[in-house]
Structure 1
Amino acid sequence: MTATLIDLDKFRATPLASDPYDHLVVPGFIQAAARDAIHQDYPQVDKPGSHPLPELRFGPVFQKLMEEIQGPEMTRAFEEKFGIDLTGHPTMVTVRGMARAKDGQIHTDSKTKLITVLIYMNPSWESSDGRLRLLRTPDSLENPVVEVPPDEGTLLAFRNGPTAWHGHTSVEGPRRAIQLNWVTDEGVVRREQFRHGISSKVKKLLSFG
């Protein structure tokens, strides 16, 4: 397995696009040699929704990935790419493993999220559904400016804002995604982890009903 799990050189070499809003897509951001080990250590997420990292169990390679994507070198690379000072802005990670039919509705992220990063871990995604679309308006998923298949190792990052509309067509079944956000303050991390934690507990209880 490669010593570094992520390819920041490839990230730095990818230009920032501005249509429909600041974003970039980096296929192969996760090193190919590391992907099998990351899959093996990926959290067992068999329920839909976003699950806070502190509530999940995972292996050492996945832990190393979490350390790298929240580390200072990654932060510096994002500061340079987006022209933003992230000093004092903590990171927050949630993990997805399953998609449900109602997922993917057009939305913008919370105002407390400055930058959104999605790292996909799905081998050979063949479905035409479940591909994230970056949109100019909230009216329709048709005619996206960008469509991103959730292929393993692909990174999508964008600057959050009131017009950063995105969504995907309905799909059900396994769909692995790691979401990283730089947020406004630690209070956001605590609130979001509590909210997602309650939601995941409710889903677990309902699954036993």
Structure 2
Amino acid sequence: MSTLADASPIDLDRLRATPVADAPFAHLIVPGFLRADVRDAVEADYPKIDKPGSIPLFSVTSGPAFQRMIDALRGPEMTAAMSEKFDLDLAGRPTMVTVRARCRAKDGQIHTDSKGKLVTVLLYMNGGWEAEGGRLRLLNGPDSLDDFAAEVPPDAGTLLAFKCTPDAWHGHKPYEGPRRAIQLNWVVDESYVRREQRRHGLSAFLKKLPFAS
């Protein structure tokens, strides 16, 4: 007989049932992707981070419930589902994961993800989000945060996934304070992973220094 500990913490059936939206670029939004019955345990095991910015997963410590979730996100069934959704062969492609815990007022500026990324997945880990800032907007172009086709509140368990294309502009209005997010990327090759790990590792080290903000 299976137990709660044996069950996947992510709802792949919900993901598979969610259609890909084409505008403003290929994406899907899945509220409730992280199962409600594991959210408290995952939140309790979330890495203890007191600095802003993206922190590479290898540089932090987390608990078992959080790690089970990461293992499921990087597992073959998730890879197959993303491959099908975005018409990409992601099997065998490297993945990398970063985590965030705090947001600065300067975060969320309009950008696209780097060319080495194939698919970006964001999984949010916050309670009911009431602030106007911090809601990721999928933009029609690079000119304005108010010109958006979709907006994603960073509520606990909500997943956003999108194909990393040159027109995948996104950003959010300023927010300062706690804002938990896990970012998973399938990337082109291992050299990209090593380069990004060095970059994020240096950034994380600098953030630990007393003068960092």
Equivalent residue number for residue 193 of structure 1: 197
Equivalent residue number for residue 119 of structure 1: 123
8 Å contact kept, 2:18–2:28: yes
The residue type equivalent to 1:105 in the other structure is Q
8 Å contact kept, 2:79–2:91: no
The Cα shift of 1:207 comes to 4.7
Which residue of the other structure, out of 151, 165, 172, is the alignment partner of 2:169? 165
* Change in 2 beyond 3 A, CA 1:46/1:135: same
Cα distance per residue 1:99-118 (max 9 Å; x no partner): 00100000000000000000
CA distance in 2, matches of 1:48, 1:103: 9
8 Å contact kept, 2:101–2:181: yes
8 Å contact kept, 1:88–1:185: no
After TM superposition, list the pairs within 5 Å mapping 1:34-53 onto structure 2: 34-53=38-57
Equivalent residue number for residue 132 of structure 1: 136
CA distance in 2, matches of 1:37, 1:22: 32
The DSSP-based 3-state class of the residue aligned with 2:126 is coil
The residue type equivalent to 1:91 in the other structure is T
The residue type equivalent to 2:162 in the other structure is F
Cα distance per residue 1:15-63 (max 9 Å; x no partner): 0000000000000000000000001100011100000010010101111
CA distance in 2, matches of 1:34, 1:44: 18
CA distance in 1, matches of 2:108, 2:141: 15
8 Å contact kept, 1:42–1:59: yes
- Show structure 2 runs of 5+ residues with no match: none
8 Å contact kept, 1:90–1:183: yes
**TM-score calculated relative to the size of structure 2:** 0.96
Equivalent residue number for residue 107 of structure 2: 103
Which residue of the other structure, out of 63, 66, 91, is the alignment partner of 2:70? 66
Q: Percent sequence identity over matched residues?
A: 62
Cα distance per residue 1:114-167 (max 9 Å; x no partner): 000000000111111110000011000003100000000000000011110000
How many residues in Structure 1 have an aligned counterpart in Structure 2?
Answer: 209
The Cα shift of 1:88 comes to 3.0
CA distance in 2, matches of 1:134, 1:50: 20
- Show structure 1 runs of 5+ residues with no match: none
| 1:93 counterpart = 2:72 | no
The residue type equivalent to 1:16 in the other structure is V
